[in-house]
Amino acid sequence: MKKFAVITAGGSGSRMGSDLPKQFMLLNNKPVLWHTLKAFLAAFADLHFILVLPAAYMEAGADLLKELAITEQSVLVEGGSTRFYSVQKGLAKVTEESVVFVHDGVRCLISPELIIKCYHQTLERGSAIPAVASTESVRIIHNNTHQPVNRNEVRIIQTPQTFKSSILLPAFQQEYQESFTDEATVVEAGGTGVFLIDGEYQNLKITRPVDLVIAATILKERALG
């Protein structure tokens, strides 16, 4: 089945304290986004990429696709005002039955193995949502009170959230709701259940300067085997 990877990279560098969007910050002398794309290519050479970027960085995205020699199998899309609208615009480029990965462009440590596992579970069950168990104590705040939650029942959701196109595309025809925090919540609101899959603790999202330091350390350890 055809494979599309919608890579959402429309964010800014506000929490990084930088004018440069975090997806274009350097990690081991390459943009964060470069590492993300390389992982997907290592999983499936026949992937078709839909790269969702801020308007001001379309040229930089095009240069990155050229460097990776994937221009012919890729398309650039300008991001929307929210994640929902950015993904919706990306999905408009999916025109045939396929498996669709939706991945945060700044989750640059994703392993090819997890991508492959998501693909195969999606073929079997229709979806694969990576998740890891919480390693921290968790409390729910309600008004002025708070209560502990059994962390064994908590899962931290990651990407690539992966679906058959026949499930994902109709779900994104809904009107936007504030409760839509990711693709899984959109699909569930459309009346279809989703299936979790074991994620990876190293599949972190680059959001703050310290995350770049951690990511560099992990990449160094991987290089050493």
Does 19 or 174 have the greater pLDDT score? 174
Tell me, what's the pLDDT at 10? 76
Closest CA to 10 of 79, 104, 72: 79
Res. 17: pLDDT tops 90: no
Does 14 or 191 have the greater pLDDT score? 191
Res. 161: pLDDT tops 60: yes
How many whole angstroms separate alpha carbon 156 and alpha carbon 122?
19
Among 17-21, 107-111, 127-131, 185-189, the minimum mean pLDDT is found in 17-21
Mean pLDDT for the chain overall: 95
Q: β-strand 155-157 against 2-8: which pairing, if any?
A: unpaired
Q: How confident is the model at residue 13 (pLDDT cuts 50, 70, 90)?
A: low
Tell me, what's the pLDDT at 109? 98
- Across 80-107, average pLDDT: 96
Segments in the chain forming alpha helices (H): 32-43, 58-67, 83-91, 112-125, 165-171, 183-189, 209-224
Phi, psi of 2 (to 5 degrees): -65, 150
Q: Over the stretch 50-72, which tens digit does the pLDDT of each residue have?
A: 999 999 999 999 999 999 999 99
Q: Over the stretch 177-199, which tens digit does the pLDDT of each residue have?
A: 999 999 999 999 999 999 999 99
Tell me, what's the pLDDT at 198? 98
